Structure formats: structure tokens, C-alpha cells
Structure 1
């Protein structure tokens, strides 16, 4: 390939794709690091092992409670607080995303990754020692603080050292590991709850995490040209670059959004007013700090503009749908269809495999379009759009099925259709994530990629936590409302028992009420799918328009 011609094309695509305020912020070598200098040696392999092992455990921990949270909450007699077991981890893993991206440009990738792994290990250990839902939720929140860094820095470190033409493969591998771990969390949780117990599903992770910490501290080196080394890294001048005010206010704003979405029927008006005011004040504070105080902004506002902002929006929608399915599917299968916890793992295994295959296929397709940077960028957005369509079709099947199939339906037909929907949704999600990562990195270059990754990871995580908290809280509210309408007079006491203990439906409720209550649960779950499906359809329409614009703009260069 002619190098001069390639760079000319790269300059042209960079000029057109980036917001105007960022076009002079980096050289084209940042967008196209030399592929000829790249090779896999022992140090790089060890670095991959450490970051991918940490990412695997972090991803498993994010979803391992999806099939066990009902059992854990019932064990503590706090089934009405079940959503907090899931959302506490997602809350902090989302809110702390901004801490790591830009800060790692100042203090170094290794320093921040070591901090993140230590915090995550502490939270995992505390989760195993929890005595009620409150302490478990706090421990899960601590895990999320560290998990945010492990998740974000894994992607950033890969893009630091791998050239654009080869990133689709490594991003594909990383996505396979992360996605597979996310999907394995549910079946592993189900197996643990009926064998070694839920406490051990946290404890067994600790030794592996300690090995990662030791290897990272003593054997791994991550050097990036624009990050200061030695004493200069911790000098007063360099530390002043950390946007502490921006981190705090953005953290509060994101947390407020999550708390507002996580409200349930028992939430008071004071709760809503308090977090609404906190959201407004922290948002205003963030913009004032970024405009007048911050030396270096944690998220460059130029990144939000144009196509990067659009891709971030659709990434959030995709993640919302993915996590909504991941956490509602076990509830639907267990509560409505009477599937055992262990057998639920069979369904989610199809989700696991299809997500991994989607990531691998997308990476291979994009790799076939790496003749130049223009081909890679256009190929990645084309691939993302196609895979987003797969996810949309899969979600449509699941939405129709939970709305139409009767509770405790026997036979194989509905199960096959449900698995097919899961496979399409997982395949689409896995491939879409790989395509968007390559598209974003190809646009902004290495010097800005940490901030761009932070932005998209934040939106993606925000989508996931909103998907989980909104679906679970909506489900809980719908169930409580339906039960109160059904049980009146002398039978009213059944409402509190069903709301407080999900196992009471099968173990204590009189037989004559079971069928009607199951229909209440079914309608509640169907009501959570419909708004999420509407958002995913909107996301697909947006992706189709974006794909058309990018492809037509660079058709003459392909």
C-alpha cells in the first residue's frame, strides 16, 4: 500500500469526520499507528492476560446476581429491595467511568488499573461477607467503583499499542471475553446458588484477582508517549491537570439519574425531589467547572458533537436493551414459566455463544475492509448498522413472545422461539460493540481516544444501568399494582407476602390464586419490554441514517 496516498486519504477522512474544534489537536500518525512496528511479544501477551482476566471477572461479577438476586433477597427477607442488588454495582461502575479515562492520561494507565483492581477485589470480598441486602448493595457498589476502571482501561490499553488496521481483531477478542463473561454470569450464579452457595460465588474470584494484582504490579509495564514518567507524573503541576471538580459533579449527576430511574413504589416524594434537585445542581456545577475552572476537561465537549455523539447515543440504547433482556429473562423464566434456576443457565448459554460469535464475525468483517483507514471506518459503521438490526429483530421476537405466551406453557415450540430471539439479540449486540469501538477510535486518534472511550463507556454503562433499574423497578411496581387490584378484603395480606418473598408464589399461595397471579406477573414483564423495544427501533433508525451519511460522504474514496 502506498504510504503517501494512505495518509492523504486519512487526512481527508479525519477532516470530515471530526468536529471542527478537534481537527488540529493531533497528527495523522495518532490515527494510524504503524502496523509494521507492531508484534506480539511476551510482555504484550502478559499485559493481555492481566487486563483480560480482570475484565472477565469484572464482567462476570456484573451479571452473576441476575439469577441469584431473588434467592439472596428472599434469604434476607427483603425481596422488595431486590433491584438494589443489581443496580448498586451498575450504579457505581457507571458513575465512576469519568474518573479513569482522562485521569489515566495524567497518572498513567498502570497506576489507575492497579487502583481499580484493588478496589474491585475489596468489594468482591465484602460482598461475600454481607449480612443483609443493604450491606451487600454497599459492597457491590465498592466493586463497581473498581470495575469501572478495569472495564474502561482494558479497551484504552489495547488501543494504545495496537494499530488501527489490527484493532478490530483484538477488540473482537476483548469483546468476546467481556461479553462471554457477562453472559456466563447468569448461569454461573444459578449453579452456585444450588451448589456452593451465593457467598462462595464471590469468594472464589478473590484468588484470581490477587494474582492479577501481583502480575500487574511487578511484571507489566504500560508506557504511552504523552503520559509523564517518574517524579514528573506526581508533580504538583501535573496533578493540577486532574479535573476533580468535574469528576465529582459529573459523578453526582450520573448517580442522580440512576437513583431517579431506580425508584420504586415505596419511594417518597422527598426522595424524588432530593435527587431531582441534586441532578440539576450537579449538572449546572459540572458545566461551570468545565468552562471556568478545569485545566483539562475530563470529557471534551467537542466529542459529544456530530457522529461520535450519535454513536454514543445508539450504544447506550443497545446496552439498555442487552441488560434489560439479561436481567428480565431469568425473572420471566423463573416466575412466569416455572423454569428452575439451573435450567435458566441453558437459555443464557445461547446468549453467551451468540454474543461471542457476533463479536468474532464483526471483527473478521471489519478486518476484510482494512485496505485503508477510510475503508476501516466506513466498514465499521456498515457492520455496526447490520448488527444493530440483528439485535432489534431479536428483541422484537422476545417482546412478542412474553406478551403472547401463557404462563407455565408446556412444550418445546415457545422455548425454541425464545432461544432464537436470544441468539439474534446476542449476536447483534456482540457485533455492534466491536464495530462502534473501531469507528470511534479511527476517528479521534490515540491522544484523544481515552476521553472518547470514557464518553462512550459512560453512555453505554448508563444505558445498561437504566435498562436494569428501569425494567426491574417497573416490573416491581406493575406487580405490586396488579396484586393490590386483585387481592382485596380478607385476602389483602397476600400482597405483602408476595412482594416481600418471591418464593411465596409457589410455596405458600393457595392454588386457586396461582393462575391469576401468574398472569399479573406476565403482564408486568410484558410492560417492561415494550418501551425498551421502542427505544431500540429508534436507535436502528438513527444508525441507518448515520450509515447512509458516512458511506455517501466517502463513496469516492472506496
Structure 2
């Protein structure tokens, strides 16, 4: 059915096209969409119009350089620190506090992500990106002068505040300056930049430790970040239609739009849930109760502030309903499964198969490379359907569904490989199968995220795309933390139960305690007659933790299939 050219939004009645009621119960009714989304749907009901040509200017190239170089440095720093933090803590004589270094960055980088999206709609993209890069640079500089693990953790927390903004605003600005039909391709290029830096981080970190030292490793990043800040300050101007002019950005009326109390309460809620998810056997019950209370109270306060106090919500509630909310959930499910696998693979290789720690990076390298290739391939596939925004959005979701299936297939092959391979196996077939599973799952994960982003950006519209990106990023980051926590809990519980049953004799109970505290005791202290059976316990526990991504992916695929069906009915004639 064609729609007249003189049709106006005000003429629209309350009628809605017939849809599958059972599907709407899950995905939400179209009546909950924003006015911007409804206008987009009406435009898509018209015959597809050719999209304007896209040209790359010098200013656009400089903008990309600032975004991608900042992304490169942030990703590189993350993998460098994860590789070297054990050595750094040992230098301070505080090896028992090594988790502080990782947790402090993770905490602030997750908690501060929601701040940048909506606030950049009010104060401007360039201004918030300068703040983010400045905070990250300051955190890196302070890290190089750290006196102990505590001061290093504070410096890493400051760097995390900036790193959150660099990642979030890179995606948002790309969505601002690149038309929807081209975004998938540029997102693919951006993912290649991030993946390359993650791949280089391990070798670079190890090289720095044995040559120039970890302090200089941090210090050398500062000039690169200052170059990035200088180019952004003097050469880049990011203009977005709905952001107020420079003269009006700091007016009283405009500053009132910043949801200060929403930012504070949301940060408290996210921070407390991360503390709870990062808790281990050494965390006291008192701390768990305190952070649970903080989470509950701050969550209640956040919903109260957003409903009755805030002039503009930090996260538009419409963006967590219906299709965008469901796709955000599946994005989190994908991230959970992905990071479960990445977390457990080194344990499996090192403990069960006896692979030297220096060679583990060879296996994970295949995963990183395939993730980058998957995102680039997804971008090229979606780009073929650029005759209209509706076709691009549908292609994004359909592409994500197919790549999600690939991710699930990779997880299944991985589980089968771990389940059927004996510990300390000398055969090459299990190694080849493991690499194949990592390539397939990485390829699927890389392609999946690009398509989801394209649909959310198109559905949210120009005004809502920053908040839409924020929702996706926050759920994905929480999915990573939750995934590792669930996986580790399942692994520890299974291993403890098996070891307890095996070492029933009181004289051998100390073996179980040593194994639970230090896995190196397995090969460097446990009597030889126990090793083969205990290795099977470790393999079984890791295998059980690998089954969780399989269940999650299966559930996510069902949801994605329902979303894909509904979107095709709505957007395609």
C-alpha cells in the first residue's frame, strides 16, 4: 500500500497494523515508540528514495583519526595492564592486591558510560570527548608515578572515567557524521582498530616489562594522548543539529537539562552491582550486605529521580522498552557468553592441557583476528542494502541473527572439544578444533554487534542515538562482568564439590585447600598418583562453565528470531 506524499503525522489515527499478539507481549507495542521513531516509520512507508552520496572530507578524516587513535590507545592500555598487573603488584610487594588494579578500571569505565551519551547532547560531543581524553591522559600519567597498589588503583579509576567516554563517544560521533547506509562499514573499521590494539597489548606489555619497565610503559602513552587532544582541540569541529549553539550551551536553562541526581544514583547502582559481581571467597558477608543495600536504595532513588525530578532523563525510558530493550538484552547475553569463553580458555589450556603461559596468546590471537574480520564482513553485507534506511535497519537485524548463530556454533564446537579431549593430550586434532571454535565464535561475535548497533541507531533517530548507544554499551559492559562472575562461580562450585568427595580422608584435606587457593600446586606439589584424576575434575568443572554460554546463546537466538520476524513485518512492504 502506498502512502500519499502529502500525508502528515498529525493525520495519523490510532489504528495499528495487525500483528502477532504473542510476539507483542514479548517485544512491546509499537504505541510505545517515540515520535521520532514514528516519523521514521512513516518515511519508510513511502517508496524507497535514493540516499545522498557520501564524500570523505579532510575534516572528516581528522575526526576519524582522533576517534580511532583514542580508541586504539585505550584498548592497548587495557590489554597491556591486564598482561603486566601481576608484575606491577609484585614490584610493590602487594601481589595479594592485584585484583584492585583491574577492578578499579572496570568499575569506573562501566559506571561512567551512561554519563557521556545524554550529557553530550546537552554540552556537545567535542567538549565531552575532550574531558574524556583529558581524564584518561591524567590517569595514565598518575599511573606512572604510583607509589603502591592503592595509588595505582586510584589512577586506574581516573583513567577508567576517561576510557568510558572515549569508547562511548567514538560510537556516538561515528553515528553523527556517517549516514546510516555507511555506518556498518565504518563500525567494522573501528572494530578492526580496537581488535588490533588488543592483539598487540600482550606482546607490547611483556616487552616493556623486560626492557623499559612498567613506569615508562605508562609514561610513553602520554605524548600520544596529548597529540590526540591537540588535534581534537584545534582541528576538529563536531556539529550536530539538535545540540545547542556554543553561546547557549552553558545557559542556566540548558544546564538544568543535565540529570545530575540521575547520574549520581545510577553510578552508585552500577558501582555496587559490580562490587557484588566481583566478590570472591575473601569478601566478607558484611561487605556484601552493605553493597546490596546500596544497590537497592540507589536503584529506588534513580527511578524516583527519573520519574519526578529530572528535566530530561539520562537514559530515555522508551529506549529500554520494546525492540531496542530486547536487542540490548541479547547484546548483553552475547557479551556474557563471549567473555565467559575468553576467561576460561587460558585456564583450560594452562591447567588441563599444560600449555605454557607464553603460548596461550597464540590461541586467543585467532579469536581477536576473527572478531575484527566478522565486524568488517557484517559491515560489507549490510552496506549492500543501502537503498533506504528501512532496508538498512532490517539488514542489520537479519545479519546479527545469522552471526549470532555462528557464535553459538563456535561455542558448541568448543564445548565438545573440551568434553572429549583427555588432559595432557599430545594430539594435534584438539588444538585444531579449539582454534576453529575460537575463529567461528569470534567471527560471529564481531559481526553480531555491528548489525545491532545499526538497527538501534536507525530506530532511535538522530536525537535518541546517543542514549541508544549508551543503553547498548552499558548492558554489554554489565554482561561482561556478570558473565565472568557466573562462569567463575560455576567453575569453583563444581571443582570444590569434586575435590571434597575425592579427598575424603582428613589427612589429605590439605591438598584440597592448596588446590582451591593455587592451581599451580596441581603440577608443583600434588603427589603424582592424584594428578590424573584431579585433572579430570578440572576439565569437568571448566566444561560445566562452558555449558552456560551455550544455554544463554540458545535463549538469545529464540528472542532474536522473534525480533527479526516483527521488524521485517513492520519495515518491509
TM-score, normalised to structure 2, is 0.86
Distance in 2 (CA, whole Å) between partners of 1:377 and 1:222 is 25
Query: Using a 3 Å threshold, how does the CA distance of structure 1 residues 160 and 477 change in structure 2: closer, same or farther?
Result: same
Q: Which residue, 401, 419, 423 being the options, matches 2:439?
A: 423
Aligned mate of 2:542, from 525, 541, 551: 525
Paired residue for 1:545? 562
- Residue range with higher mean Cα deviation, 149-158 or 19-28: 19-28
The answer to which of 78-87 and 106-115 deviates more is 78-87
Aligned to 2:306: 290
Give the distance between the partners of 2:541 and 2:216, measured in 1 at CA. Answer: 32
Distance 2:201 2:484 in 1: 15
Distance 1:396 1:91, change over 3 A: farther
- CA-CA distance at 1:387 after TM superposition: 0.3
Match of 1:59 in 2: 75
Alignment partner, residue 411 of structure 1: 427
- Which among 22, 45, 53 is matched to residue 34 of structure 2? 22
Segment of structure 1 superposing worse, 185-194 or 341-350: 185-194
Evaluate the alpha carbon distance shift between residue 555 and residue 108 of structure 1 in structure 2; reply closer, same or farther with a 3 A threshold: closer
Moved more, 490-499 or 395-404: 490-499
Provide the rounded CA distance (Å) in 2 between the counterparts of 1:528 and 1:390.
Answer: 20
Q: Deviations over 1:179-238 (max 9, x none)?
A: 443454455555656666655554443332222122222222212122223342122221
Q: Pick from 275, 291, 299: which aligns with 1:259?
A: 275
Whether 1:162 aligns to 2:178 is yes
SS in 2 for 1:445: helix
1:46 is matched with 62
Structure 2 SS opposite 1:535? helix
Q: Name 1:354's counterpart in structure 2.
A: 370
Task: Report the equivalent of 1:329.
Answer: 345
Task: Mark the structure with the bigger radius of gyration.
Answer: 2
* 1:552/1:449 CA distance change after superposition, 3 Å: same
CA RMSD of aligned residues (A): 3.4
Contact 1:70 1:82 in 2 (8 A): yes
Task: After TM superposition, list the pairs within 5 Å mapping 1:118-267 onto structure 2.
Answer: 118-130=134-146, 134-186=150-202, 188-189=204-205, 201-267=217-283
Whether 1:387 and 2:393 are equivalent positions in the alignment is no
Gaps of 5+ in 1: none
Deviation at 1:97, TM superposition (A): 1.1
- Greater shift, 246-255 or 487-496, is seen at 487-496
- For residues 282 and 428 of structure 1, do their structure 2 counterparts lie closer, same or farther at Cα, with a shift above 3 Å needed? same
Deviates more, 1:139-148 or 1:247-256: 139-148
Aligned 1:271-286 pairs, distance under 5 A? 271-286=287-302
How many angstroms apart in 1 are the aligned matches of 2:421 and 2:204?
27
Distance 1:422 1:511, change over 3 A: same
Partner of 1:461: 477
Cα offsets for 1:462-517 (capped at 9, x unmatched): 11122234334554565566666666645555566555555554455554554444
In 1, distance between residues paired with 2:228 and 2:182? Answer: 26
CA distance in 1 between counterparts of 2:515 and 2:147 reads: 22
The number of residue pairs the alignment matches comes to 551
Shift of 1:292: 0.5
> What displacement does 1:455 show?
0.9
Structure 1 402/123 Cα, relative in aligned 2: closer, same or farther at 3 Å?
farther
Instruction: Tell which deviates more after alignment, 70-79 or 210-219.
Output: 70-79
Q: Would the alpha carbon gap of residues 408 and 77 (structure 1) be closer, same or farther in structure 2, given more than 3 Å must change?
A: farther
Q: Secondary structure at the match of 2:281?
A: coil
* Contact kept? 2:110, 2:478, Cα under 8 Å: yes
Distance 2:551 2:92 in 1: 36
